[in-house]
Amino acid sequence: MVYKDAGINVIALSVDNAEDTQALADGLRLGSAVQMLHSIDAHAVAAATGALIQEGDRTFLHATGFVLDPEGNVANAVYSSGPIGRLTASDVLKKVVFEKAMRAKNSAG
């Protein structure tokens, strides 16, 4: 099962410019499964989400991931302060499949 089959939409944010963001998406072979937004204000995203910022020669956000339920509420959040601690594709898929099964079970009984 892939994200599309599970009805999962992915939106990714980057502080990089459009060209660098597209190069990243191409290198990861994301295709049309992911909507990539570029030139994001790191400080605004951090203020709104609690994401951690790395400042220095280059300012960027550390990986921060959210799984939203169908109503748009945060069902799971993962914050990283370094190179480890990410939501993986398989973790997200497992979470969504599990939550859908629980909703189906609860609505049936």
Q: Domain spans of the chain?
A: 3-108
Q: What is the pLDDT of residue 65?
A: 93
Q: Please, what's the b/e burial string for 15-49 (b: 16 or more CB within 10 A of its CB; e: otherwise)?
A: bbeeeebeeebeeeeeeeeeebebebebeebeeee
Question: What does the pLDDT look like over 7-58, one tens digit per residue?
Answer: 888 889 999 999 998 898 888 777 666 788 999 999 999 999 999 999 888 8
> Check: CATH 3.40.30.10 for 3-108?
yes
- Contact predicate 51/61, CB 8 Å: yes
- Contact predicate 63/38, CB 8 Å: no
DSSP of 36-93, one letter per residue? EE-S--HHHHHHHH---EE-SSS-EEPPEEEEE-TTS-EEEEEE-SSSS----HHHHH
Question: What does the pLDDT look like over 57-102, one tens digit per residue?
Answer: 888 899 999 999 889 999 999 999 988 889 888 899 999 999 999 9
